[in-house]
Chains A and B, each alone.
Chain A
Amino acid sequence: MNKQSAKHQTYAFQGKTPMDAASNENAKTITLTIDDESISVPQGSNVLEAAKRLSIDISSFCYHPGLSIAAVCRQCLVSIEGVPKLQPSCQAICQEGMVVRTQDEQSMDARRQMLEFTLVNHPIDCPICDRAGDCTLQKMYFEHDYQLSKIDVPKVRKPKAKDIGKHIMLDAERCILCTRCIRVCDEVANEHQLTMINRGDKQELTTTETLDNPYSLNTVDVCPVGALTEKEFRFSMRSWELMMTPSVCSGCSTGCNIEIHHRNTEVYRIKPRYHKDINKHWMCDEGRSIHKQWYENRLTGPMREGIPVSWEDAMTHAGHCIKTVLDTDCDSIGVVFSPHHTNEANYLLYKLTQSWGVKKLFMGGAVAVPDRADDILMDQDVTPNRQGVISIVDAGLEDTQTLISQITLGTIKTLIVLGSELDVAPMITDSSCQIIVFSEYETDMVSNASVAFPISAWMETDGSVTNRDNHIQRIYSAMPSAGQSLSAWETLVRLSNETGHGLKYNDLRSVDACMRRHHNFPQHNWDNVNPRVQLRFEHSRG
């Protein structure tokens, strides 16, 4: 099935998921009783989601709040008054006056026995399984079963370490046949690439074609066991050793919410974080490998004409250059803003241009990639904060073609560039223009610049970014800045002091407060200083 022929594109994004039903504020509310506690939920929500609101965790494998309901694992059985048989709570829709029991002997016994069934053919190779510590089955076993296997017949053998796609390995023995991955491919990526073959205990997950859709790694996220594993992350690190810092993807203007999983100063993987309006539970494969770009070719110290110098030297020189130009010909300065940097950095640069009286402002950033755009999550604009720059610099922002023509005409002789991504960088580098650049990476422009300041890369930055739909979201730094580099806002404050137009900011919070006053941005929660957690069972997302 190709993208064009698909009629019901992206089921998971059309607001039909169980989670959407359970959080629909416009719907009529109905009241039911779960474990002697009364709760009101929107009409259409299922018992499992209602129980979650009461902090009652009903075990489940096949149910995922962002996918359609399959009810194949029977792990969420509960007893409902007036119904003779136990019901799967994921499929049972809440009714007015319904009385549900989740912890009574009958349903607990049924859930324990269902788990025993699930474990019949599971290899229980937790020590070598990559999902150990992050695995729903392991968690359920400790919560429900906790007993030795009573089965003495041989386990069914299935293929192990099977390469099923560009990013994914399948261990069919570990698979508990929950079909979540099949539904992810069908409903999120809208490509039917996974399917079940055979029946009973011979049932096995397999591919109809290569699993190569651009959202394939979501199958690894939803897999409750270690059946599907990510090739890049496989065996590299135990998940319980990792720290999680919430952030936003820097890959495109969609602004998917992500979790950066890191240890010490290395990022190991990127996982999606739930956001109701932007990315739901998902993200694209391209965004997951974005952390490799964050490390390549970093600029770790200030440079003058391509020669490493000290911060003081670079600052004095840059300040001197700018002051000289400001005194003689203020109009020959051009400033390039970066849609790859936070609102705070761009705001400070904008404030600086205002206090200098500079009028020539340009929008930098990478060129759009129309090929990658789809209706699901990926956008052709590969800059994470273009909207933010536009809303900060409300008037007079020009594109890079104007910049080039002005440089050729000779009206711009000094250029201040924020960020390393600039499509016209080679042309600027070739011109006789004096360049002061704030860059994370060592580019050609950096080695030819009069002064180059090293600034923090995405995973080292605190601040906020604005996505294509004007959602302003907070990003957090996962680790200290590499080498001698400093945050962009701090570098800009230092430079402003050097040019005698001091911006009086001591921390990012005051920058943010000032920015909010001027641009009517919503307030962020700055009190949550370090939302970093270590990934243990309580944070596992199995």
Chain B
Amino acid sequence: MDTVTQSEKTTVGRATVVTVKREPSQTTSFMMTLIRGMTVTMRHFFSNLFTKTQTETLEYPEEKIPYPERHRGLHRLMKRDDGRVRCVACMCCPTACPANCITIVPAETDDPSVEKYPAVFEIDELRCIVCGLCVEACPCDAIRMDTKLHAAPVEFRGDAIETKTSLLERGGLSHAIQAGKGSDWRESEQ
């Protein structure tokens, strides 16, 4: 408030120019603030220099932060025991996907226990917003995002589309049980 009372007002045309007059210590003596700031810097410098265990810095890329358990990375498609894709092309994931990045073309199989499988399964990783809704929507544990991988940088947009082959390459076996009775519940009941 003091500075305002000490200010001068002059009128230049339609504009009013306010010249603020400050105390000399406020404009010249920044040494105290500087010393205070440097103290913090030096304290961290010396503590890091002598006690290395407390250092916050990681030697990336030799060292990496372990990702949390539920980290959502690149997608993968899970497989059945015989190596076929678990996906039954129910279209729940493209329905749930808010970014419309999943393309499935269903086709019929000869195996009556499977009935339907995805002839084409593509995910556009550039469109994907990594929300994980596809994983939640999947009724057969066919799609997962637990690879802890990041989408690789690409030169062309088309290269960012993950195909069924590349998704299955990352995929592993899944023995998740369906309807509480396992994937082979039909056969075990006979």
Contact = CB atoms under 8 A, between A and B. Distances in A.
A487 B168 CA distance: 48
A127 B92 contact: yes
Nearest to B140: A127
A124 B115 CA distance: 14
A238 B95 contact: yes
Contact of A161 (B88, B107, B112, B189): B112
B137 to A, nearest CB: 10
Contacts of A504: none
Chain A, interface size category, equals: 10 to 19
Nearest to A148: B180
B108 A238 contact: no
A155 B139 CA distance: 21
B39 to A, nearest CB: 64
A157 interface: yes
A234 interface: yes
Interface in B175-190: 179, 186, 189-190
A160 B106 contact: no
B189 A154 contact: yes
B186 A128 contact: no
A240 interface: yes
A154 B90 contact: no
Interface in A111-149: 124-128, 132
A126 B115 CA distance: 12
A154 B186 CA distance: 8
Nearest to B138: A127
A235 B90 contact: no
B5 to A, nearest CB: 68
Contacts of B77: none
B-side binding surface: helix, strand, loop or mixed?
loop
B91 interface: yes
A470 B38 CA distance: 94
B89 interface: yes
B72 interface: no
A482 to B, nearest CB: 23
Nearest to B108: A235
Contacts of A125: 115
Interface string B84-114: 0000111110010000000000111000100
Interface residues of B, number: 18
Contacts of B179: 124
A130 B108 CA distance: 12
A128 B88 contact: yes
B148 interface: no
Contact of B116 (A124, A128, A241): A128
A160 B189 contact: no
Given A157-B186, A235-B106, A241-B95, A127 B112 contact: no
Interface in A155-173: 155, 157, 160-161
B95 A240 contact: yes
B112 A160 contact: yes
Contacts of A160: 112, 115
A263 to B, nearest CB: 12
Contact of A127 (B107, B139, B189, B190): B139
A240 B116 CA distance: 18
Nearest to A127: B90
A235 B189 CA distance: 28
A161 B115 contact: yes
Contacts of A161: 108, 112, 115
Nearest to B114: A128
10 contacts: A127-B92, A128-B90, A128-B116, A154-B190, A155-B189, A161-B115, A235-B89, A238-B91, A238-B95, A241-B91
Interface of A: 124-128, 132, 154-155, 157, 160-161, 234-236, 238, 240-241
Interface of B: 88-92, 95, 106-108, 112, 115-116, 139-140, 179, 186, 189-190
Given A160-B112, A235-B108, 7 more contacts: A127-B88, A127-B92, A128-B89, A155-B189, A234-B108, A235-B89, A241-B91
